[in-house]
Amino acid sequence: MGRNTRKAGVLVLISFFSTIALAQNEIKAVVGITVDQMRAEYLERFAPHFTGGFQQFLSSGLIYRNCHYSHIPTYTAPGHATIFTGAQPRDHGIIGNDWYDPITKTEHYCVEDTLESTIGISTSEGDGMKSPRNLRTTTVTDELHLSTGGQSYIGAVSIKDRGAILPGGHAADEAYWFGSSGQFVTSTYYTDETPEWVQSFHAKNASLADYTGIWDYMIEEEAYSACLPDDNPYESTFGNSSSAFPHDVSEWVKTRGPKAMLASPYGNQYLTDFATAMIDNIPAEIADDQYVDFISVSYSSPDYIGHAYGPRSREVMDTYLRLDLELKRLFDAMDAKYGEGNWVVFLSADHGVAENPNHFGEELRMNATNHSSADLMVEMVEISEDIFGVNVIEKFYNNSLYLDESQVVSLGIEQSAIREKLALGLSQVDAFKKIWTLEEINSTDSYQAKLRRNLVDERSAGLFIEWRDGNYIYSSVGASHGSGYTYDTHVPMLLMGPSIPAGNVYRKVHVVDLAPTLSLMLGTALPHAAFGEVLEEALPFIEY
């Protein structure tokens, strides 16, 4: 089963494992589902049409209706890392999908690792040069691995590499992601060869053009009436004449390559097919033993679709109606492998998403719009030159500004004074609500606290941008995310399984609360930098 294959002759001290909670003997597996770019309100808005997995959560699950991220910015990689570590980005180290290092003057991708290489068929050398080594603390899955002496199976799959690698933690047996060739790949961090079941899966699905087809309304068109019109100026057309249904995804794949499939529900379907194949191929002697297994599935296509069409689109609604059925298929596979009632599932999201700012601004007559990073940089450089006579801004990255040390030194002014003067000057940029200096975010204000939780000292910028509501860097169509506003921080938190009560909880909780709750449910140590509170109502059956 990969890098952590069980080896004959491993001595297990049974007395050590006797400390594991009662739940460890009742639960055979945990499924952790992350939906990329799912706003919490989707669960309510689309509920009348759910018949599958989301409906099971609504009828039998414990639903935290007011769950939020407590860090900024709200991006994919920090979100996944926070869910599974219970830590803030400053502690788990994943402060963005990528980040700028002001010391080396280089940019880094969150899971890049040049020590590793690709396992699987790939058309890009970088597909498999990935690992979890940039993750600076332990995950729930790591602690499960440690608590069972490596006897628990841990598998993670996603379309995005970061959506598989970060949840799998440092000790995953298997982790797979969608490669440039259209096949799932992994890296030498996990294994030295592609397992036979993965080869069989790809042989069965050799042509993605044949796998995909026409994406049309799943149910009657009238059901989508609360969404924006089907063809509207706030949606991407992908170079076509219209953004309206139906969408010929097979043609997308033929003309634009395999990754074009990902901006459609076929991406979710393909991932479920692969995830259920992985579950089916867990050996019976592992699935039936006394140790809890952990399967992480991260659905990335909702993010691609949301970015392209926006949260009020019919495409987004249709995607979630179809994802509802994919979840049911995943649950059925777990029942078949572990037995009904023998596993726990949770679902959350790595971030939400803003409204399309142009629709938002027009509909509510508010000052909202999209912005160009290049145009903003030109404006900020002009302000810097007006103040200091030179440009002191070296880099504009992840809503932060890094100062040019050589220019700062040449001015002969304290850097803190330069930051303060530049922040004051940049406050005239209409898109910015506030520019925070490095000194200011160490205060006790709640917004600065969210910024501070994303601050890793050696990667620290000098100034931090707080956007006005409804303003961000993106194109004029679709939508994006990254802010501290509730449209980006408010995400679902759902749990379901034996002895977990059904119902709704409306008090404010945070994503960092999930990991310590799962750890106590499993009777393991908490991840080392876990920051949150325990969700006690999810644990009424735990006794020690």
């191929």: which residue's tokens?
A: 281
Residue 458's pLDDT is what? 79
Query: At 241, is the pLDDT very low, low, confident or very high (cuts 50, 70, 90)?
Result: confident
pLDDT digits (tens, 9 = 90+) for 285-334: 999 999 999 999 999 999 999 999 999 999 999 999 999 999 999 999 99
Q: What is the mean pLDDT of residues 468-492?
A: 97
Residue 443's pLDDT is what? 63
Residue 309's pLDDT is what? 98
Query: At 514, is the pLDDT very low, low, confident or very high (cuts 50, 70, 90)?
Result: very high
Same domain, 170 and 291: yes
Q: Would you say residue 333 lies in a domain?
A: yes
Residue 142's pLDDT is what? 98
Q: Would you say residue 208 lies in a domain?
A: no
Render the burial of 391-406: b for 16+ CB within 10 Å, e for the rest.
ebbbbbbbbbbbbbee
Residue 233 DSSP label: T
Per-residue three-class SS string for 243-298: CCCCEEHHHHHHHHCHHHHHHCHHHHHHHHHHHHHHHHCCCHHHHCCCCCEEEEEE
Residue 448's pLDDT is what? 75
How many structural domains are present in the chain?
2
Q: Which two tokens stand for residue 317?
A: 């609604």
Same domain, 40 and 139: yes
CA distance 269 to 271: 5
**CB contact at 8 A, 418 and 447:** no
Find the range with the poorest average confidence among 21-25, 235-239, 244-248, 393-397.
21-25
Is the pLDDT assigned to residue 23 strictly greater than 80? no
Q: What percent of the chain has pLDDT over 90?
A: 89
- β 247-248/471-473 pair status: unpaired
Residue 15's pLDDT is what? 29
Residue 459 DSSP label: G
**Residue 379 domain boundaries:** 369-468
**CB contact at 8 A, 391 and 353:** no
Q: Would you say residue 425 lies in a domain?
A: yes
Same domain, 79 and 181: yes
Q: Which of 442, 468, 494 is the last residue of a domain?
A: 468
**CB contact at 8 A, 111 and 126:** no
**CB contact at 8 A, 527 and 515:** yes
Q: Would you say residue 403 lies in a domain?
A: yes
Residue 386's pLDDT is what? 97
Known catalytic membership, residue 319: no
Give the bridge partners for 348, in sequence order.
34, 493
Of the two residues 438 and 249, the one the predictor is more confident about is: 249
Is the pLDDT assigned to residue 49 strictly greater than 60? yes
Q: Which of 411, 440, 468 is the last residue of a domain?
A: 468
Q: What is the mean pLDDT of residues 278-284?
A: 98
Is the pLDDT assigned to residue 2 strictly greater than 70? no
Q: What is the mean pLDDT of residues 347-367?
A: 96
Residue 289's pLDDT is what? 96
Same domain, 348 and 375: no
Query: At 7, is the pLDDT very low, low, confident or very high (cuts 50, 70, 90)?
Result: very low
CA distance 208 to 191: 26
Q: What is the mean pLDDT of residues 196-208?
A: 96
pLDDT digits (tens, 9 = 90+) for 60-69: 999 999 999 9
Same domain, 344 and 385: no
Residue 1's pLDDT is what? 52
Residue 444's pLDDT is what? 62
Q: Would you say residue 508 lies in a domain?
A: yes
Is the pLDDT assigned to residue 543 strictly greater than 90? no
Same domain, 455 and 409: yes
Query: At 541, is the pLDDT very low, low, confident or very high (cuts 50, 70, 90)?
Result: low
- What CATH number did the domain enclosing 439 receive? 3.30.1360.150
What average pLDDT is seen over the chain?
93
Same domain, 126 and 184: yes
Residue 4's pLDDT is what? 45
Same domain, 59 and 130: yes
Same domain, 288 and 427: no
Same domain, 328 and 460: no
Q: Which of 468, 493, 508 is the last residue of a domain?
A: 468
Residue 25's pLDDT is what? 47
Q: What is the mean pLDDT of residues 497-523?
A: 97
Q: What is the mean pLDDT of residues 195-213?
A: 96
Q: Which two tokens stand for residue 310?
A: 């926006």
Is the pLDDT assigned to residue 203 strictly greater than 70? yes
Residue 459's pLDDT is what? 84
Catalytic-role residue among 34, 74, 76, 319: 76
CA distance 297 to 154: 11
| Binding-site residues from annotation for substrate | 97, 160-162
Same domain, 182 and 312: yes
Q: Would you say residue 20 lies in a domain?
A: no
Structural element, H or E, at residue 184:
strand 184-187
- What CATH number did the domain enclosing 522 receive? 3.40.720.10
Stated pTM of the model: 0.94
Q: Would you say residue 312 lies in a domain?
A: yes
Cα–Cα separations (whole angstroms), residue 350 to 323, 412, 447: 16, 43, 19
Same domain, 156 and 284: yes
Q: Would you say residue 212 lies in a domain?
A: no
